[in-house]
Amino acid sequence: MIVNRQRRVRVSIQALDKFLRSVLRRLRLPADGLTICFVGNAEMARWNRRYRGKKRATDVLSFPADSARWPERNGQGRGKARADFSVGDYLGDIAIAPVVAQENARRFGRSFDEEMRILILHGVLHLMGYDHETDSGQMERLERRLRREWRIG
């Protein structure tokens, strides 16, 4: 499910929801396993400061529903993502700041829609337990491969 709680940037919820469903199918995740919320920069900056200690808005944040079940959250098996999801598992929530995404799209020479798809995929991988800051490139390789499959970025 995608919820839009910002008004500054026009977002095609329907197209992005269709993309999200294809990501969930491809990664064999439950169709109702997460929520994505588009938020303004002020809210994103508040969360980024609170949860990551960074004093600015960021493009995407992922909030696992049960961080204790992820190996890298409790110090075991860094970089290994959980692969044993069952029907009914709620993975968590993803927050995306469309204003930041729009700025990044311009900076990287991509369309806004393409940037939003990249952020959705990136957020989902984090909910699965991947962490590009601590793994040995696993998340980056998987994300690159999946982006090639969907021809994004």
Q: Using one digit for the tens of pLDDT, what is the confidence trace for 119-142?
A: 999 999 999 989 887 787 888 999
Q: Mark out the alpha helices in the chain (DSSP H runs).
A: 13-26, 41-52, 98-108, 112-127, 138-150
Tell me which architecture the domain covering 2-150 has in CATH: 3-Layer(aba) Sandwich (3.40)
C-alpha angle 134-136-139 in degrees, rounded to nearest 5: 80
Q: What is the pLDDT of residue 133?
A: 79
Separation of alpha carbons 100 and 57, rounded Å: 7
For the cut 70, the answer to whether the pLDDT of residue 84 exceeds it is: no
For residue 101, pLDDT over 70 is answered with yes
Q: What is the pTM of this model?
A: 0.84
State the pLDDT at residue 104: 96
Residue 62: beta bridge partners?
A: 94
Q: String of b and e for 22-48 (b: at least 16 CB within 10 Å)?
A: ebbeebebeeebbbbbbbbbeebbebb
Domain ranges within the chain, ordered by starting residue: 2-150
For residue 73, is pLDDT > 90?
no
